Amino acid sequence: MRLSRSAPLAVAASLLAAAPAALAQSSAGAPQPAADLIVTNARIYTADDSRPLVEAFAVRGNRIVFTGSAREAATLKGAATRVVDAGGRTVIPGMVDAHAHFAGLAQTLRAVDLVGTKSVTEVIARVQAKAATLPKGTWITGRGWDQNAWGDTRFPTHDALSAAVPDHPVLLTRVDGHANFVNAAAMKLAGVTAATKDPSGGKIQRDANGAPTGVFIDNAQRLVGSKVPELTRDEMRAALKDAIARMHSLGLVGMHDAGASRANIELFEDMAQKRELDLRLYVMIGDNAEALKHYFQVGPRSALYDGQVWVRAVKLYADGAMGSRGAALLEPYSDDPNNTGLLLSAPSHIEEVARQGLAAGFQINTHAIGDRGNRVVLDAYDKALAATPRADHRFRVEHAQILHQDDIPRFAQMGVIPSMQASHQTSDMYWIGKRLGPTRLYGAYAWQSLLQTGVIIPNGSDFPVEAVNPLISFHASIARQDARDWPAGGWYPEQKMSREDALRSMTLWAAYAGFQEKELGSITPGKYADFVVLDQDIMRVPAELVLQTRVLSTWVGGRRVYEAPAR
Ligand SMILES: [Zn+2]
Residue among 273, 276, 284 nearest 310 (CA): 284
* Confidence (pLDDT) at 513: 98
CA distance 280 to 304: 10
25 CA from centroid of ligand 1 (Å)? 45
Tell me the CA–centroid distance for residue 149 and ligand 1, in Å: 26
Write out pLDDT tens, residues 160-199: 999 999 999 999 998 877 789 999 999 999 999 999 999 8
CA of 466 to the centre of ligand 1 (A): 10
Helix H or strand E encompassing 93: strand 90-93
| Distance from the alpha carbon of residue 258 to the mean position of ligand 1, in angstroms | 6
- Going from the Cα of 424 to the center of ligand 1, the distance in angstroms, rounded, reads 11
Give the span between the Cα atoms of 462 and 419, in whole angstroms.
11
Q: Is the pLDDT of residue 324 over 80?
A: no
Q: Using the 8-state DSSP alphabet, how is residue 256 labeled?
A: E
Which of 372, 326, 320, 381 lies closest to 348, judged by CA?
381
Strands of the 56-60 sheet, one edge to the other: 63-68, 56-60, 37-40, 82-85
Span from the CA of 285 to the centroid of ligand 1 (angstroms): 13
Residue 71 C-alpha to ligand 1 middle, in angstroms?
45
* Residue 400 Cα to ligand 1 middle (Å): 12
* Sheet containing 112-113: order of strands: 112-113, 140-145, 170-174, 179-182, 212-218, 202-206
pLDDT in tens, 269-303: 999 999 999 999 999 999 999 999 999 999 999 99
Does residue 320 surpass a pLDDT of 90?
no
Query: Whose CA is closest to 48, among 528, 508, 506, 451?
Result: 508
Neighbours of ion ligand 1 (CB under 5 A): 258, 462
Query: Residue 370 C-alpha to ligand 1 middle, in angstroms?
Result: 15
HSE toward the beta carbon, residue 185, CA cutoff 13 A: 20
Work out the pLDDT band at 329, boundaries 50, 70, 90: very high
Task: Tell how far the Cα of 567 is from the centroid of ligand 1, in angstroms.
Answer: 35
Sequence-distant (6+) residues with CB within 8 A of 289 are: none
For 429-455, write each residue's pLDDT tens digit.
999 999 999 999 999 999 999 999 999
Q: How far is the CA of 4 from the centre of ligand 1 (A)?
A: 24
The answer, as to whether pTM is greater than 0.85, is yes
What pLDDT is attached to residue 23?
41
**Helices (H) and strands (E) in the chain — how many of each?**
21, 24
Q: What is the mean pLDDT of residues 470-475?
A: 98
pLDDT of 224 strictly over 50: yes
Label the pairing between strands 90-93 and 179-182.
Answer: unpaired
Q: Please check whether residue 98 is in contact with residue 256, taking contact to mean a CB–CB distance below 8 angstroms.
A: yes
Q: Which helix (H) or strand (E) holds 373?
A: helix 371-387
**For residue 98, how far is its CA from the centre of ligand 1 (angstroms)?**
10
